[in-house]
Amino acid sequence: MNIANNWKDYEIIDMANGEKLERWGNIKLVRPDPQIIWKEKSFPKEWEKANAVYKRSNKGGGGWNYKTKLPESWQIKYKQLTFNIKPMGFKHTGLFPEQAVNWDWMINKIQEAKRPIKVLNLFAYTGGASVACLYAGASVCHVDSSKGMVAWAKENVASSGLQDRPIRYIVDDVVKFVNREIRRGNKYDAIIMDPPSYGRGASGEIWQFENNISDLIKLCTNVLSNNPLFFFINSYTTGISGEVLGNLLKLNLNNFEGKISSGEIGLPMINSKLVLPCGIYGRWEI
């Protein structure tokens, strides 16, 4: 497992009973996590210090229970990158801290390439990977069907002082956009995608991971440059293993020389040996 263990502004303080107690800067949140099936709290008194708790509803969904007044948004840093955090309606904060281990990998790949790298970031959300690739010196095309998420990504790029770097923001359905790029003859040296388990595009297009992911990977091979650097897939889809993503890359990138790897990413809990598994990845790299 690849563990994101270089954070200073984020940490898991404790986890038990389907919940994790986290510190985001100087604010402590409790959020649900289905992987946490053990019941014993390691630091029971720490839970009383939470500023807000997200509770699921029996009818589906849920909401935040604020113990103290929180700012509308606040910032945390990861190395030289700065991100804006906002508690959202569905337990999220706008950032997945476990992705830091992938950002580090992308930054290293881009910097070690020692040539201009064009990155296509699909289902790009609030732009964690876009910020990392910009910082590394790449040019980025950031694509997401949500106007609000793209606006948030712009905030993160600006907060990291990278607003003058070459980035295009596209609010569109990913498949439609890639098809247009094929027709235009546009090519990219690196492709990143973080597809949802289920979603709708900008015009109501339905996306379902199991049904659509293989076709999308195949489609994206048509916008890879003649000298590609990497193809990276991240997923949180339940029941899919990293090996599945590796197999999809093997099947669809068999015309490209390079190596394929896959696995899990996770977050450590402080003052313990516990690690929370958070997602999977598959990557092809030169």
pLDDT (tens digit per residue) in 26-79: 999 999 999 999 999 999 999 999 999 999 887 778 999 999 999 999 999 999
Mean pLDDT estimate for the chain: 96
Burial 62-96 (b: 16+ CB within 10 A, else e): bebeeeeebeeebbbebeebbbbbbbeeebebbbb
Per-residue CA distances from 230 to 24, 110, 244, 254, 261 (Å) = 31, 9, 18, 14, 11
Q: Are residues 60 and 142 in the same domain?
A: no
CATH of the domain at 52: 2.60.40.1180
Residue where the block lists tokens 């993503």: 245
Q: Which domain holds residue 13?
A: 2-72
Centroid of chain to Cα 158: 18
Which residues lie below 8 Å from residue 239, measured CB to CB, with a gap of 6+? none
Look at residue 274 and tell me whether its pLDDT is greater than 90.
yes
Look at residue 248 and tell me whether its pLDDT is greater than 80.
yes
* Whether 143 contacts 150, CB under 8 Å: no
* Residue 273 located in a structural domain: yes
DSSP state of 172: S
Q: Are residues 267 and 131 in the same domain?
A: yes
Q: Are residues 58 and 149 in the same domain?
A: no
Q: Give the pLDDT band of residue 250 (cuts 50, 70, 90).
A: very high
- Taking the C-alpha atoms of residue 221 and residue 218, their distance in angstroms, rounded to an integer, is 5
Strand-by-strand arrangement of the 27-32 sheet: 10-16, 19-24, 27-32, 52-56, 62-66
Number of domains in the chain: 2
- Residue range 72-87: mean pLDDT, rounded: 98
Q: Are residues 150 and 16 in the same domain?
A: no
Q: Give the pLDDT band of residue 202 (cuts 50, 70, 90).
A: low
Closest CA to 111 of 78, 132, 136: 136
Q: Are residues 152 and 41 in the same domain?
A: no
* Residue 10 located in a structural domain: yes
